[in-house]
Amino acid sequence: MFVQLKDVWFKYSHTDWILKGISMKFGRGIFAIVGPNGSGKTTILRVICGFLKPRKGSVFVLGRKVQSYKDVIGKVIYVPTNPTVFVIGPIVYNEFMKISKTLGLEKSIDEIFEELNIKELRNRRIFNLSEGQLRLVSIALAAFSKVDVLLLDEPTVGLDRVYRDKIMEIFKQIKNKVVIIATNDLRLATRVDYVYAINEGQVISEGSPSKVFYDKKVIEAIGAPEIVTFARRIGLSGVLTPQQLAKILREM
Amino acid sequence: MSWVLRNLSYAFHFRRENSVAEITHPILKLVGLLITIIIAVSANVSNLMILLIIILIEALYIRRIRNIFEISKAMMFPLFFVGFFALILYGITKALELILRLLVIGYAIIIFMTTTLPSELAQVFESIGIPRKIIIIPELALRVIPYIASDTQQAIESLLLRKEIKLSPIPRGISKVFAAVIMSAVKRSNFLAEALLAKHYFQGKGTKFYEFKITVYGIIQLVVKILFLIVIMLSINLTTMLLNVFTLFSIAK
């Protein structure tokens, strides 16, 4: 296992328990942690980074117990909700140059721009990028850097379908890495390999998206993507995309 | 570094505790704060100790001990540094004096900030005729403090893992954090300005949301602080005076 959380309990000094015995395992692939606001998604990411120390339980990254953030430097990269504080610029190209010097890049910068079809952003100033472009650049930086674990906090907030698809494209290109996404975007969560659904600091369901999003507990706590709601109404299960639904309806 | 910011943001957290301080007129509290700051910068060590005790009693009475605890945790690290250098340069008394002054000012500000919403203060200033365009500057500045703290925390954490900055043993690249936070703040202010314009914020008269009272607490805290100021102005050492009174009582018995 690349990342493992064993019975992690966490609380701040002035709050109730935020994480209540969370156990999770992350191997290679794309994982989503879904849950309502305040359920502890970001806290889990920050515990993995070593910025927060669990009150009970332990966290392991690449086989090493995480005591502080120093244990994960060079292994983990964390893109917070606000991409403005992750990309410091001033020019997009410089940003890739910097990360190639500090963490290393898996591909040449030109290759990355070419593959993502974002050549027009190459010499743009960070400050002039739109929210979506900034998010895309921050995720590209994280995804192609030479680290094994990517932690992304709400990567699709405020993005349209085109940018969401581009981000999924980036994820599909990276292999041999652990991508952990904390998100409320159920459309994104249906496209990952494995989902952990959490509520009030506890895992309420886990498994493939087709299993988790048809789980009654998850539907009650988090809700379900529209396609799932529709499929359940007509008595189907395991359907997550319009293509799957169309195929089943044609066969019927 | 991030725990300092976290504690700071908890310390400045406004909570409705149904204490008398929340309904007390903000002007009473503001004048009390200003007097406390004047005393804090001019009093000697023993008077500062007494002022600190008064502030702690006040915090206990208005249920703000938790905020005091959080700001103490946040200030511990900077105070240690300041105290250390003051100790080397000026000796133990000056170091203690400096730490006490900073503590008193910090606690007084926390008590004021956690019992007064920026919009309450704005309403009071507006009622005494200060133009709204001037009032809105500190009001918005106070409102964005938690966002700036959160952005700073996120910037530090993500840039640490990017190896762009280093905190120990010698901090490096901190200017990058400032650059990121300033960029984020400029963007946020832009959105905020647009939102306010869209809500016609500068047009028409303000609305009175809050009802304030001249409470007993408000008057007592003000009177105590004014008396304390007089004591300081008359250069009376309060500890010596109290000790003398105590000795006199003992002798009389």
What is the chain A residue with the closest CA to B149?
A85
Paired residues of A182 in beta bridges: A33, A153
Contact predicate A140/A83, CB 8 Å: no
Q: How far apart are CA B22 and CA B42, in angstroms?
A: 29
Question: Which residues between 69 and 108 in chain B have a beta carbon less than 8 angstroms from any beta carbon of chain A?
Answer: 70
Phi, psi of A241, deg, nearest 5? -125, 155
Residues in chain A where the model's pLDDT stays below 70: 14
Give yes or no for B8 touching A (CB within 8 A). no
Best mutation target among B4, B158, B165, B184 (most A Cβ atoms within 10 Å) is B158
For residue range B110-164, what is the model confidence (pLDDT) as tens digits? 888 888 887 788 788 877 777 777 777 777 777 777 788 888 888 988 998 988 8
Q: How far apart are the first and last CA of chain B?
A: 56
CA-derived radius of gyration, chain B: 22
Q: Which residue has the higher pLDDT, B108 or B235?
A: B108
Q: Are strands A19-26 and A3-10 parallel, antiparallel or unpaired?
A: antiparallel
Q: How far apart are CA B119 and CA B137, in angstroms?
A: 11
Q: How far apart are CA B30 and CA B36, in angstroms?
A: 10
CB contacts < 8 A, A to B, total 73
Paired residues of A8 in beta bridges: A22
What per-residue confidence (pLDDT) applies to B2? 57
For residue range A6-33, what is the model confidence (pLDDT) as tens digits? 999 998 876 789 999 999 999 999 999 9
Q: What residues of B are in contact with residue A99 (Cβ under 8 Å)?
A: 162
Is pLDDT at B15 greater than 70 in this prediction? no
For residue range B184-213, what is the model confidence (pLDDT) as tens digits? 888 887 787 777 777 666 565 555 666 777
CA proximity to A99, closest of A162, A150, A51: A150
Q: How far apart are the first and last CA of chain A?
A: 41
What per-residue confidence (pLDDT) applies to A10? 93
Kindly provide the ipTM of the predicted complex, given to two decimals: 0.85
Q: How far apart are CA B217 and CA B230, in angstroms?
A: 20
Q: How far apart are CA A65 and CA B151, in angstroms?
A: 28
B47 pLDDT band, cuts 50/70/90, is: confident
The pTM score is: 0.74
Of B2, B155, B176, the CB nearest to A51: B2
**Length of chain A measured in residues:** 252
What is the chain B residue with the closest CA to A72?
B161
For chain A, where are the alpha helices, taking DSSP H only? 41-49, 92-102, 109-116, 131-144, 161-173, 186-189, 209-212, 216-221, 226-233, 242-251
The token pair that represents A183 in the structure block: 């998100």
